[in-house]
Amino acid sequence: MTTATPTVAAGTQKTGGTPSTAAGRVRKRLNSRTATLVSIVIAVVWTIPTFGLFVSSLRPEDEIKTTGWWTAFTNPQFTLENYQQVLFGQSSSSGQLAGYFINSLAITIPSVLFPIAFACLAAYALAWINFRGRDWLYIAIFALQIVPLQMALVPLLRFFSTGVSVGGITLMPAWDLVDEQKFAQVWFAHTCFALPFAVFLLHNFISQLPGDLMEAARVDGATHPKIFRTIVLPLITPALAAIGIFQFLWVWNDLLVALIFAGGSDETAPLTVRLAEMAGTRGNEWQRLTAGAFVSIVVPLIVFLSLQRFFVRGLLAGSVKG
């Protein structure tokens, strides 16, 4: 009856919803009840660790350290003191996360903008400009996204600290960055490492734009830069949102690149570096770790929950088609 049904969901519900016997109907309903129940239980179990952390971050220090967070429901005592301490406290043990929060922002924003802009241009060229070696270039960039970034860390750090010289001639002096200037090398590193995936993902989107559209614009005498600005960019905004979220989550949550290129000082280190350090040196100060972890989680969570649609779409375009 429903070979013409457009969506899978509708098609199977219609056919599956009417088993011929009463027993079959009962079994069917029971099955879907069980499935619902089990999937909700799993979802809850999946959330419990995060939930426990959140509840703990709101409890007074003495309570966190002596009783489990689940006792908070029978003996509720909540406070924002931990957040106050971990964000704004001035003693060196308290976290001082507000400053690191700003570092995270200062690292993340340019590290998201630069690679997306460059990747957009490159993806357009690889999809719609004819030149020799195009396919090979695309495959090379595609392959680069699998190369572990560990392969680049040591030489890239030396590139910043000692510059480039060939045969005694200095091609580029050392950057010699101090304090907050080090942000620049973090941006540079993040941009380089993000490009292969960004080019790949955007190429997937851009190459699927209708060719007729491009052809019509070309016949009208539009040049490639004009087509890129007036036709392609407006059409790929969902793709830009997707890659933007990816890159944001990746940079905000990154530890390795920040550890190496930003260092551990409070001038440049992002939240992740500070938290990893606190987990190592003050592993039992749970009142600070729980609140601190939540401070670092909250921004990506908001971004993620509000833009989940784009994120999932990007995930599907980036993996299934590739």
Partner 1 sequence: MEFDFADQQPKLLMLMYGLIAFVVVVGGLLLLLDVVPAQFARRREAQLVAASVGGGPLPRRRKQREGLFAFFFLLPTLLLLTIGLVVPAIRTVLLSLMDGSSTNWVGLRNYGWMFSEDSIVRVLINTLIWVLLVPLVATTFGLIYAVLVDKVRFEAVAKSLVFLPMAISFVGASIIWKFVYAFRGVGDQIGLLNQIVVSLGGEPKQWLLNSPLNTLLLIVIMVWIQAGFAMVILSAAIKAIPGDIVEAARLDGVSPWQMFWRITMPSIRPALIVVVVTISIATLKVFDIVRTATNGNYDTSVIATDMYNQAFRYGQSGRGSALAVFLFILVIPIVIYQVRNLRQQREG
CB atoms within 10 A of CB 164: 12
Sole binder of partner 1 in the list 56, 82, 247, 287 (CB under 8 A): 56
User: H or E element: which one contains 118?
Assistant: helix 97-128
Sole binder of partner 1 in the list 26, 216, 235, 255 (CB under 8 A): 255
Rounded to the nearest 10 degrees, the angle between the axes of helix 97-128 and helix 183-206 is: 40
Residues 6+ apart with CB under 8 A from 142: 196, 200, 322
Of the pair 31, 216, the CB lying nearest partner 1 is at: 31
Q: Measuring CA to CA, how many Å separate 241 from each of 162, 296, 297, 302, 314?
A: 37, 22, 20, 15, 8
DSSP state letter for 320: T
Indicate whether 163 belongs to the interface with partner 1 (CB under 8 A): no
**Size, binding site for partner 1 by CB under 8 A:** 140
Q: How far is the CB of 244 from partner 1 (least distance, A)?
A: 14
Sole binder of partner 1 in the list 26, 109, 213, 235 (CB under 8 A): 109
Q: How far is the CB of 105 from partner 1 (least distance, A)?
A: 7
Question: Segment 114-153, which members bind partner 1 (CB under 8 A)?
Answer: 114, 117-119, 121-122, 124-126, 129-132, 134-135, 137, 139, 141-144, 146-153
- Which span (75-83, 94-102, 208-216, 234-242) binds partner 1, by CB under 8 A? 94-102
Of the pair 124, 216, the CB lying nearest partner 1 is at: 124
Sign for the pseudo-dihedral over CA of 140, 143, 149, 151: negative
Q: What are phi and psi of 2, to 5 degrees?
A: -125, 35
Question: Segment 189-248, which members bind partner 1 (CB under 8 A)?
Answer: 189, 191-193, 195-196, 199, 223-226, 228-229
Counting runs of H as helices and runs of E as strands, what totals does the chain give? 16, 2
Sole binder of partner 1 in the list 20, 21, 90, 92 (CB under 8 A): 90
- Which span (74-82, 113-121, 209-217, 234-242) binds partner 1, by CB under 8 A? 113-121
Sole binder of partner 1 in the list 209, 217, 276, 282 (CB under 8 A): 276
Sole binder of partner 1 in the list 26, 30, 48, 235 (CB under 8 A): 48
DSSP state letter for 96: -
Residue tagged 């190592």 (tokens) = 280
